[in-house]
């Protein structure tokens, strides 16, 4: 099982963050068009991510109440193009989240600038644990400070839940 440390903040736009990234020579890695289909499971979260023609089943668990937002996750790449139809046969869909993600990479951290359909603009950091938790926290905190993220309220929620709340 892999682990990462995360933060998510709501933004009015991506322009200020892009300016900071540019000044620090952190370049855009790629633009991802994602559709996440969330399924009902007894615990954790399960989604099928369809991204630029690639399909990945992702299961993760995260304690949203803990001080730090650590996630434990599994990724399963799927070669079949019919994964969505396959899972719909026996899993109950909860909701579908569509977004365009601009991906930046820096020191084993994924910087996501997301434009989520029906929700707006967000930034997510995901710092992978590769040399222990302390090292991951150090790398994570560096980017939190560099991007001045403490001035934004942290969202302790998934796009899934934000969208479900909005549709109530």
Neighbouring CB atoms inside 10 A of 54's CB total: 12
As a whole number of Å, the end-to-end CA separation of the chain is 34
Reported as a single tens digit per residue, the pLDDT across 36-73 is 999 999 999 999 999 998 999 999 998 777 888 899 99
Reported as a single tens digit per residue, the pLDDT across 126-158 is 999 999 999 999 999 999 999 999 999 899 889
Contact 4, 136 (CB under 8 A): yes
Average pLDDT estimate for 84-97:
96
Tell me the whole-structure pTM to 2 decimals. 0.94
Contact 125, 111 (CB under 8 A): yes
For residue 64, what pLDDT is reported?
75
Reported as a single tens digit per residue, the pLDDT across 3-43 is 999 999 999 999 999 999 999 999 999 999 999 999 999 99
Q: How far is the C-alpha of 20 from the C-alpha of 33, rounded, in Å?
A: 23
Q: How far is the C-alpha of 76 from the C-alpha of 152, rounded, in Å?
A: 33
For residue 128, what pLDDT is reported?
96
Q: In which region does residue 44 sit, left (phi positive, over 0), alpha (psi from -120 to 50) or beta (all else)?
A: left
Domains and CATH numbers, the chain: 2-166 (2.40.320.10)
Backbone angles phi, psi at 163, to 5 degrees: -70, -40
Q: How far is the C-alpha of 164 from the C-alpha of 40, rounded, in Å?
A: 13
> What's the per-residue H, E or C state across the chain?
CEEEEEEEEEECCCHHHHHHHHHCCCCEEEEEEEEEEEECCCCCEEEEEEECCEEEEEEEEECCCCCCCEEEEEEEEECCCCHHHHHHCCCCEEEEEEEEEEEEEECCEEEEEEEECCCEEEEEEEEECCCCHHHHHHHHHHHHHHCCHHHCCECCCCHHHHHHHHCC
């Amino acid at each position: 099982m892999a682990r990462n440390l995360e933060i998510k903040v709501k933004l009015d736009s991506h322009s200020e963050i892009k300016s900071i990234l540019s000044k620090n020579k952190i370049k855009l890695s790629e633009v991802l068009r994602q559709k996440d289909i969330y399924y009902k499971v007894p615990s954790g979260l399960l989604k099928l991510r369809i991204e630029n023609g690639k399909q990945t089943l992702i299961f993760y668990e995260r304690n949203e109440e803990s001080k730090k937002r650590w996630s434990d996750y599994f990724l399963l790449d799927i070669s079949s193009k019919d994964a969505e139809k396959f899972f719909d046969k026996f899993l109950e869909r909860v909701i579908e989240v569509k977004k365009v993600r601009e991906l930046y990479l820096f020191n084993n951290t994924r910087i996501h600038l997301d434009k989520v359909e029906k929700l707006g603009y967000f930034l997510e950091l995901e710092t992978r644990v590769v040399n222990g938790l302390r090292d991951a926290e150090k790398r994570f905190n560096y980017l939190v400070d560099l991007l001045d993220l403490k001035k934004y309220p942290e969202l302790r929620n998934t796009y899934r839940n934000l969208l479900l709340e909005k549709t109530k």
